[in-house]
Amino acid sequence: MRVTLPHMGNLCIPFKSIFQRLDIDYVIPPLNSRRTLSLGIKYSSEGLCIPFKLILGNLIEAAELGADTFLLPGGYGICRLGYYAKTQEQILHDLGYKNIKVVEVVVSNDQLSGPSFVKMIKSLSNNASWLKVASVVRFGLSKLKALDQVERVVQKVRAVELVKGTANQLLAETVKAIDQADDYRALKTVQSDYIDQLNHVAKDEQVRPLVVGIIGEFYVLLEPFASFDIESELGKLGVEVKRRLFISEWTKFSLLPNPLKISERDQLYRAAAPYLKRDVGGEGWESVGEKVLRAKEYDGIIHLAPFTCMPEIVAQNIMPITKEKIPILTIICDEQMAKTGLLTRLEAFVDLLARQRRTHYNKQLGVV
């Protein structure tokens, strides 16, 4: 048995750690590339979304390296994601990979179910004890948290660094160092070291950067390949990016019930309620909620959606009519998206935000 999983941001780092510590034979597919995408496109039905195609590409490339057990996101909900694992299993089967096993990692409401996740990992291991599995999973997830902490700082630094690209280089080093960290102590040192280095990057202290919130479907938000690394591009334009969704957010295990509905998600649902009263699958409901809730906080919002993504199309059509106003730009992520087209839109959007902010200040100062 050789286990693998598709890429999504740095998701492979914690899993690698878990597999290694439980002596599970694994293979991480090559990073997303044009080849991955071409394979995904070739063997998918045309109308499917970019997450499906990239994930399928990962699986094929992993299968080429001998993988036979695939961890795939699954679960229920109104979006097509629920049947992706089954469809991809069938496609791999048709491609000649006969003896394969698909393990669905159930993610519902953006949350892994803790006990079932540990149980799933245990089933992959060679009869490791519950205690060992639980502790290994916990350590893997700590890596994820550390990565996300560093990334949050990177989002701020990118906007104001004097030498563009410095923060990205440090981020790449962090990923490597966290991957190699062997225990909690090493992990903590790496995290604080890199955050420290990031804080000391030469910055333009004069500017107060524009703040743009990125919302939308979670795969295109979390996998830079799917969006031409939109966060870095915005950083180059001097924009600070804020994003609610991080992979580690999933792992705040829902062990405790939440009778008072005080989670951030519930806040989003309440904010969205005047315009959308129910889940429409994927992140559609959350997108509307975030727009309403953050309209005063950010200078602008960029809404990412895969082409043909029903939940985000619903959100896209609701967002312009809410009474809470904020400039919003929807970017559709698909296979043929050209980078120039994306940059034109981003540059124009940033110009728009900068002009609005200037006018706003002039008004405050009484200058017409």
Which one of residues 108, 199, 258, 359 is an interface residue with another protein (CB under 8 A)? 359
Cβ-proximal residues to 42 (8 Å cutoff; 6+ apart), any chain:
none
C-beta closer to another protein: residue 90 or 359: 359
Minimum distance of another protein from residue 167's CB (angstroms): 12
Minimum distance of another protein from residue 172's CB (angstroms): 10
C-beta closer to another protein: residue 37 or 146: 37
CA distance 103 to 101: 6
Cβ-proximal residues to 238 (8 Å cutoff; 6+ apart), any chain:
159, 160, 207, 209, 210, 350
Which one of residues 34, 200, 208, 323 is an interface residue with another protein (CB under 8 A)? 34
Nearest alpha-carbon partner for 59 in 3, 99, 1: 3
Minimum distance of another protein from residue 231's CB (angstroms): 13
C-beta closer to another protein: residue 126 or 340: 340
* 208 near another protein (CB under 8 A): no
Of the candidate spans 27-35, 101-109, 152-160, 184-192, the one that interacts with another protein by CB under 8 A turns out to be 27-35
Which one of residues 165, 199, 204, 277 is an interface residue with another protein (CB under 8 A)? 165
* Tokens describing residue 55: 């994930």
C-beta closer to another protein: residue 115 or 165: 165
* 31 near another protein (CB under 8 A): yes
Contact assessment for residue 249 and residue 286, using Cβ atoms and an 8 Å cutoff = no
Strands 101-108 and 111-112: antiparallel
CA distance 212 to 347: 13
- What angle (nearest 5°) sits at the alpha carbon of residue 11, between those of residues 7 and 13? 110
Minimum distance of another protein from residue 134's CB (angstroms): 36
Contact assessment for residue 80 and residue 31, using Cβ atoms and an 8 Å cutoff = no
Cβ-proximal residues to 144 (8 Å cutoff; 6+ apart), any chain:
10, 11, 13, 14, 247, 248, 251
Site string for another protein, 314-353 (x = CB under 8 A): --xx--xx-----x----x-x-x--xxx-xxx-xxx-xx-
* Tokens describing residue 4: 């693998």
Contact assessment for residue 307 and residue 217, using Cβ atoms and an 8 Å cutoff = no
Which one of residues 228, 238, 267, 310 is an interface residue with another protein (CB under 8 A)? 228
Cβ-proximal residues to 125 (8 Å cutoff; 6+ apart), any chain:
22, 23, 24, 133
Site string for another protein, 262-301 (x = CB under 8 A): ----------------------------------------
C-beta closer to another protein: residue 61 or 151: 61
C-beta closer to another protein: residue 149 or 356: 356
Judged by the rule CB under 8 A, the positions of this chain that interact with another protein are: 30-31, 33-36, 164-165, 228-229, 307, 316-317, 320-321, 327, 332, 334, 336, 339-341, 343-345, 347-349, 351-352, 355-356, 359
